[in-house]
Amino acid sequence: AVSLPFAVGQCGNQVGCRFWDLALREHAAVNKKGIYDEALSSFFRNVDTRSGDNGPDIYEGKICSLKARALLIDMEEGVVNEILQGPLRDVFDSKQLITDVSGSGNNWAVGHKIYGCQYRENIVEKLRKTAEHCDCLQCFFIIHSMGGGTGSGLGTFVLNLLEEEFPEVYRFVTSVYPSGEDDVITSPYNSVLAMKELNEHADCVLPIENESLFEIVNKIHQLINSGKLGTTVKQNSLVTSSAGTAKTLQEKPFDAMNNIVANLLLNLTSSARFEGSLNMDLNEISMNLVPFPRLHYLVSSLTPLYTLADVNVPSRRLDQMFSDAFSRDHQLIRADPKRSLYLACALLVRGNVQVSDLRRNIERLKPSLHFVSWNQEGWKTGLCSVPPVGHSHSLLALANNTCVKPTFIELKDRFMKLYKKKAHLHHYLQIDGMDQSCFSEAISSLSDLIEEYNELDATKGGPRIDPSRLKIAV
C-alpha cells in the first residue's frame, strides 16, 4: 500500500527533502540485492530511464531508477530549486513540482484563496497522475508549517482538495506549530485559520513544535560534547543526523531538527513497509487513536535519540527506551503526557524487541499514566522486525492525550492579542473570499476543540462508575 507525501511550503519541503534522503538510506541498508520490492514501492516508483526520463514503470526485478512518489509544492522557488540541484535531483521529476515565484507573504489567505484557486486544476491533474502510478493508495501525508502563508494556506487548501477528490484515502498531516518567539508576526492568524481546516478535514494530525525539536538537538549536542557518553556514539544513529545520506554538504541549522521529523515519518510507516510479528498499518493508527472524529491530534515521541557503538544491549537499556518515550524531554511538542489524560496510546517498536518486552514495559509504566475511564487498558502495539539505520531497536509513541491543550490555548491567546486590536487584519480581509466570518469561525472552531479537551480533563481522577450491564431474563 502506498503513502503519498505532499510537501507544501518552505518548511514542508525542507523536511520533505530530509525525509526522502533518509528513506533512501533506510531502504539501501535493508535492500542489499538492489531488487525493487514491496517495501520500496510504498514510497518509490522504479522507472526505466534508459531511454529518457519518461520511461515506463518497472514493477519487479532490479532497481533502475527510483523516483519518489511525492508532490512538492511551493510558491517560492528557492527551496525546491535547491532540491533539484542537489544530490536528490534524480529522485524527482518536473511533473511532481508546483512552484511559483512570489511566495505567499506569510499570509494564509494568499496561500489558501489566491494560490488555491489559481493552482487547483494543476494540483488535481498532477495528483491524479501520481495516484495512477500507485496500485493501492492508502494514505496522503501533508508536511507543512502552520505559521506561514504557503504551507499553512495552500497546504490546508490541498487538504480540502484531497478530501473532495479521494474521500476514501486517509489524510495524515504533520504540522509544525509556531513558537511564541516566532519572527512571523501574523503566525497566530495563519495557524488558527489553518487549525479550522485541520479540525474538519484531517484524519490525523501530528503537531510538532520547533522549540521541542531545538531542545532535543541541544540535548544531544551537550551529551556528545560533555564526554559523558563513555563509548563513541554511532554517527548515523543520531535522530538528528544526515550521516550516510546523499547530503554531504555542511548541515544547516534546521537540518538536525528536520531530520527528527523525517525520522518520525519513517518510523510511522515502517510497519506498513517492513515485516514484523505484529504489523501496524496506517489505517490502524487512525482507527485506534481517534475515538471521536475531532479529537485527532497525536503527540509523538521518538526514542532512542542515538545509539552507542557497543552492540550488546542489556534489557535495562531497552526498558529505558520505553521510559524515555513517556518523558517530557522526548515529546515533539512541549507537553508532559504523564500529567494529563490519555485517551489512547500507540507504541510502534522496531528491531529486536519481542512481545514480552512490550508487555513488561506496559505493565511497568501503566500505573504512572492516567487513562480515560472508558479506555483503561487502551494500548495499540506494533512490532516491526527492521530497526532504523544505526539502531538495534527503536520506539515511536503516539499519544492521544489532553496535553495538547496548552499548545492550543497559547495559540488562541496569541491570536486574540492580535485580533482584539485588529492588527494586520486588513492584509487578510482585502483578499477575495475573505471576511470577518473566516476569523470568527476559525477561533470558534479552536475554542470548541479546547472545550472538548477541558471536558475530558474534568473527568480525570474522578470516581470511576462503570455503566451497568445489560440484564438478561434467565
Q: Contact positions toward another protein, by CB under 8 A?
A: 1, 38, 135-136, 138, 274-275, 277-279, 281, 283-284, 286-293, 315, 343-344, 346, 354-357, 359, 362-363, 366, 373-381, 383, 466-467, 469-472, 474
Find the radius of gyration of the CA atoms of the chain.
22
Q: Which is nearer to another protein, 364 or 417 (CB)?
A: 364
253: which 3 cell numbers? 541549522
Longest dimension (CA), the chain: 77
DSSP 162: H
| Min CB(471)–another protein separation in Å | 8
Q: Which of 237, 203, 199 is nearest to 29 (CA)?
A: 237
Q: Which is nearer to another protein, 92 or 274 (CB)?
A: 274
Distance separating alpha carbons of residues 126 and 130, to the nearest angstrom: 6
| Min CB(358)–another protein separation in Å | 9
| Min CB(7)–another protein separation in Å | 24
Q: Which is nearer to another protein, 113 or 171 (CB)?
A: 171
| Min CB(290)–another protein separation in Å | 7
| Min CB(210)–another protein separation in Å | 30
Residue listed under C-alpha cell 522504479: 46
| Min CB(123)–another protein separation in Å | 25
Q: H helices of 31-59, where?
A: 38-41
Q: Which is nearer to another protein, 354 or 436 (CB)?
A: 354
Q: Which is nearer to another protein, 278 or 425 (CB)?
A: 278
Residue 68 burial by Cβ neighbours in a 10 Å radius (0-12, 13-18, 19+): buried
Q: Which is nearer to another protein, 101 or 470 (CB)?
A: 470
Burial 322-340 (b: 16+ CB within 10 A, else e): bebbbeeebbbbbbebeeb
Q: H helices of 111-154, where?
A: 116-132
Cβ neighbours for 10, distance < 8 A, ≥ 6 positions apart = 74, 76, 78, 79, 145, 148, 150, 151
In this structure, what is the dihedral angle of CA atoms 369, 371, 375, 376, given to the nearest 10 degrees? Answer: 50
Q: Which is nearer to another protein, 289 or 446 (CB)?
A: 289
| Min CB(294)–another protein separation in Å | 10
